[in-house]
């Protein structure tokens, strides 16, 4: 069997690229041949500086049949791999032509596609509709009133229908994996094709242990910040006020895909851009930081794997008391898991508020001055609460690869069997 990795940037950050890199690293020891057809048939190229980290996969500039059957892994098939169609959002994904050619070379019945869906987006249709309205500015009171109307049932049914369509849940050779910290029975009822699993762990280079520091400079704190969201700059004032309140200088190594405000932040805060730093330097900086400010799922998983204190911000909208977190399901899924393990409510509240851009200054001041605050963070991640046998998303993906390699039937039968196991 041949495995094809089809990386693509879905949002503005590097998370989706890093997801596929993590997949490649966990499949490397299996000995299954891995191919990277970047730039083939107009497919995306890897971002600059990424190619050196993909030594586990062979570049494939011209597609030829390499084995009896194939498996292709890509992020969010509905965005990156679906063929074009008439009507709204009908443009084909950047990997659509490559997938079409793989199915021509091997035969569609000998190609299994695996879509890595957005982390922790295992929401029911009703929850999806609620989130759509919340992000659009609808207040909680108004949302409660809307849910009591007949139109609400119609809108949830529409959401369910469109979500199924644009995620291609009816494609017979496509498996959808949704990594998460906590499963959702309501999601499985609405979308039984989705296979919930635990997180796919970061590569070993990220998880490498950090030597203990012999001396800690109590005058200066050194943090790191992956500031991918466009609204990240709204945290700068709170970070500065928090460091001033703590009477401790705060140096933050900053990685961001967009320019930050040119003015120097007030107070004892220094932002040190590292956007052009080599990958090894960034990973070392991330590992050695006293605290990590992370976003999305991949940098969050890396912070959890390393252990120690972190803060999470994935963007926010609104101002003051009306400020709302953007796509908060990732941190909410983690906090739900932590609540079941007895993590203190005060720490969970700090993480939740910071994710919304609220109480930034007092949270930063506490992180800079209270060693007990940092000690409340779990030393290692807890297993995800998902259907049995899938708590380790990496192990589950390795199982799928091995199972398809040995399966006696065709791709449609394999996918149908995995979905039946999911329903059971």
Would you state the CATH architecture of domain 210-375?
3-Layer(aba) Sandwich (3.40)
Which residue spans within 28-151 are E strands per DSSP? Answer: 34-36, 58-59, 70-75, 111-116
Distance CA 50, CA 70 (A): 25
Q: 194 is written with which tokens? A: 């989705």
pTM above 0.85, yes or no: yes
Residue 82 tokens read as 């679906």
- Which pair of structure tokens corresponds to residue 233? 């700059």
- Cα–Cα dist 119/326, whole Å: 14
Task: Name beta bridge partners: 196.
Answer: 178
Helix (H) or strand (E) holding 226: strand 220-226
334 near 181, Cβ under 8 Å?
A: yes
So where are the chain's domains?
A: 2-198+387-423, 210-375
Q: How far apart are CA 168 and CA 35, in angstroms?
A: 24
The backbone region for 357, taken as left when phi is positive above 0, alpha when psi lies in -120 to 50, beta otherwise, is: left
Which residue(s) pair with 221 in the sheet?
250
Residue 222's pLDDT is 95
Residue-level pLDDT at 214: 39
The pLDDT value given to residue 215: 47
Report whether 37 contacts 3 (CB < 8 A): no
Contacts of 297 (CB under 8 A, 6+ apart): 15, 19, 118, 119, 120, 179, 199, 330
Give the integer Cα–Cα distance in Å for 254 and 211: 22
pLDDT of the chain, 424 residues: tens digit per residue: 999 999 998 876 678 899 999 999 999 999 999 999 999 999 999 987 788 889 999 999 999 999 999 999 999 999 999 999 998 899 999 999 999 999 999 999 999 999 999 999 999 999 999 999 998 889 889 999 999 999 999 999 999 999 999 999 999 999 999 999 999 999 999 999 999 999 999 987 666 555 544 345 678 999 999 999 999 999 999 999 999 999 999 999 999 887 777 666 666 899 998 877 788 888 899 999 999 999 999 999 999 999 999 999 999 987 776 788 899 999 999 999 999 999 999 999 999 999 999 999 999 999 999 999 999 999 889 999 999 999 999 999 999 999 999 999 999 999 999 999 887 6
- What 3-state class would DSSP assign to 290? coil
Burial 305-316 (b: 16+ CB within 10 A, else e): bbebbbbbbbbb
**So what's the pLDDT on residue 219?**
84
Whether 70 contacts 3, CB under 8 Å: yes
Tell the burial category of 93 from Cβ atoms under 10 Å away from its Cβ (0-12, 13-18, 19+): buried
Q: Are 326 and 231 in contact (CB under 8 A)?
A: yes
User: Distance (Å, rounded) from C-alpha 423 to C-alpha 196?
Assistant: 11
| Neighbouring residues of 155: CB distance < 8 A, sequence distance ≥ 6 | 129
pLDDT of residue 263: 60
Q: In what order do the strands lie in the sheet with 111-116?
A: 58-59, 34-36, 2-5, 70-75, 111-116, 174-179, 194-197
Mapping DSSP to helix (H, G, I), strand (E, B) and coil, where does residue 374 land? helix
Cα atoms found within 13 Å of the Cα of residue 171, Cβ hemisphere only: 24
Give yes or no for a contact between 78 and 13, defined as CB atoms under 8 angstroms apart: no
Nearest CA to 63 among 97, 37, 89, 92? 37
User: CA-CA distance, 80 to 55, in Å (whole number)?
Assistant: 23
Question: Which residues, including other chains, have CB under 8 Å from residue 206's CB and lie 6 or more apart?
Answer: 283, 286, 287, 302, 305, 306
First to last CA, the chain: 28
**What's CA 38's distance to the chain center, in Å?**
21
Element (H, E) at 194: strand 194-197
Closest to 114 (Cα-Cα) out of 35, 173, 57 = 173
How long is the chain? 424
**Would you state the pLDDT for residue 323?**
80
Per-residue DSSP letters for 315-359?
-EES-GGG-EESSTHHHHHHHHHHHHTT--HHHHHHHHHHHTT-S
Q: What pLDDT, on a 0 to 100 scale, did the predictor assign at position 216?
A: 52
Strand, helix or coil for residue 74: strand
């Amino acid at each position: 069997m041949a495995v094809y990795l089809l990386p693509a940037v879905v949002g503005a950050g590097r998370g989706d690229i890093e997801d596929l890199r993590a997949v490649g690293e966990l499949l490397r020891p299996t000995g299954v041949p891995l191919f990277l057809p970047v730039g083939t048939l107009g497919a995306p190229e890897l971002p600059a500086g990424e190619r050196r980290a993909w030594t586990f996969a062979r570049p494939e500039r011209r597609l030829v049949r390499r084995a009896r059957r194939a498996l292709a892994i890509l992020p969010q098939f509905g965005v990156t791999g679906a063929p074009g169609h008439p009507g709204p959002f009908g443009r084909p994904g950047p990997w659509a032509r490559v997938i079409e050619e793989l199915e021509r070379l091997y035969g569609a019945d000998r190609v299994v596609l695996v879509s890595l869906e957005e982390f922790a987006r295992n929401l029911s249709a009703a929850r999806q509709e609620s989130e759509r309205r919340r992000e659009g500015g609808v207040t909680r009171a108004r949302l409660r009133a809307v849910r009591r109307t007949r139109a609400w049932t119609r809108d949830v049914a529409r959401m369910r229908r469109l979500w199924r369509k644009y995620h291609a849940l009816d494609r017979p050779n496509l498996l959808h994996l949704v990594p998460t910290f906590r499963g959702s029975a309501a999601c499985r009822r609405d979308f039984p094709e989705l296979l919930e699993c635990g997180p796919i762990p970061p590569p070993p280079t990220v998880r490498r242990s950090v030597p203990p520091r012999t001396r800690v400079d109590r005058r200066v704190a050194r943090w790191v910040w992956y500031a991918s969201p466009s609204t990240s700059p709204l945290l700068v004032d709170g970070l500065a006020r928090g460091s001033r309140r703590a009477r401790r200088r705060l140096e933050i190594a900053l990685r961001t895909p967009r320019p930050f405000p040119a003015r120097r932040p007030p107070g004892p805060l220094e932002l040190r851009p590292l956007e052009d730093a080599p990958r090894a330097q960034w990973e070392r900086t991330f590992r050695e930081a006293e605290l990590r400010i992370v976003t999305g799922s991949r940098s969050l998983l890396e912070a959890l794997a390393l252990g120690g204190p972190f803060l999470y911000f994935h963007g926010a909208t609104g101002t003051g008391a009306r400020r709302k977190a953007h796509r908060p399901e990732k941190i909410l899924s983690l906090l739900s898991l932590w609540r079941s393990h007895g993590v203190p409510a005060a720490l969970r509240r700090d993480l939740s508020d910071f994710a919304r851009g609220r109480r930034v200054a007092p949270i930063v001041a506490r992180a800079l001055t209270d060693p007990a605050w940092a000690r409340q963070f779990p030393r290692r991640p807890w297993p995800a609460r998902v259907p049995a046998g899938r708590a380790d998303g990496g192990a589950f993906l390795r199982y799928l690869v091995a199972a398809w390699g040995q399966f006696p039937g065709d791709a449609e039968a394999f996918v149908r069997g995995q979905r039946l196991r999911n329903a059971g």
